[in-house]
Amino acid sequence: MSVWDTCSEMKQNKLISILVLFIIITLTAGEIKDNEEKKLASEFPGARLEFSDFIIPSEIRNKIELSVKQRFFMKSVYVWKIYQGEELKAISIIDNVLGKTLPITFRVTFDKTGEIINSKIVKYRETIGGGVGNDSWNNQFVGKNSKSSYKVGEDIDGISGATISVNSVTKGIQKLSMLAEYLLYEENN
């Protein structure tokens, strides 16, 4: 087997992996959306939830990706705007990041000023590193916003055995905080 055959095989394996990831996300997306919408309704009783599969404008997406040094998993994210009467109270966003080999689906909810109210792991698919799903780990993001520092080991606690997940989810939350700032700006202008 030549080097070129090995490279071709590696490219083919990578394409198959990407296709499998896309299928996993597509098949579970509807169930995840419905479950998270029910949870948001219980977190914000009496609120009106406006859902959108928000396509991130390429200029905004590129700016955020360059700043955080992590790409968005897809070109769109699930966004709920949460209203009490006519007043926007919060925005909640679901996205995915890549763990060691599989996507990690997470949700971050922001108040109307862009501060994180909570973050949650919605679906963890890896066999190890699931500590990022613990409430105690996620609670360290509460109060952070797009201007906050998200440096693992300084501002964010690491988890032994979950280095990749910690770094991926932390960058993902930072990306969503920047996206929330954009969404809130658009809502108010």
pLDDT in tens, 24-77: 555 456 789 999 999 999 999 999 999 999 999 999 999 999 999 999 999 999
Instruction: Read off the pLDDT band of 3 (50, 70, 90).
Output: very low
Please answer whether residues 109 and 117 qualify as being in contact, where contact means their C-beta atoms are separated by less than 8 angstroms.
Answer: yes
What confidence category does residue 161 fall into, taking pLDDT thresholds of 50, 70 and 90? confident
Query: In this predicted structure, what is the pLDDT of residue 113?
Result: 97
Q: What is the pLDDT of residues 79-123, one digit of tens each?
A: 999 999 999 999 999 999 999 889 999 999 999 999 999 999 999
Q: Which two tokens stand for residue 41?
A: 């309704």
Cβ atoms 147, 41 nearer than 8 A:
no
Name the strands in the sheet holding 87-98, side by side, starting at the edge strand that comes first in the sequence: 48-55, 76-84, 87-98, 103-111, 116-124
pTM (2 d.p.): 0.84
Q: In whole angstroms, what is the distance from residue 29 CA to residue 132 CA?
A: 20
The number of C-alpha atoms within 13 Å of 73 and in the hemisphere containing its C-beta is 25
Q: How many residues does the chain have?
A: 189
Using the predicted structure, report yes or no on whether residue 165 has a pLDDT greater than 60.
Answer: yes
- Considering only 40-44, 126-130, 161-165, 183-187, which range has the smallest mean pLDDT? 126-130
126 or 108, which is more confident: 108
6-37: per-residue pLDDT in tens?
Answer: 556 666 666 666 555 555 555 456 789 999 99
Q: Given a cut of 50, is residue 4 above it in pLDDT?
A: no
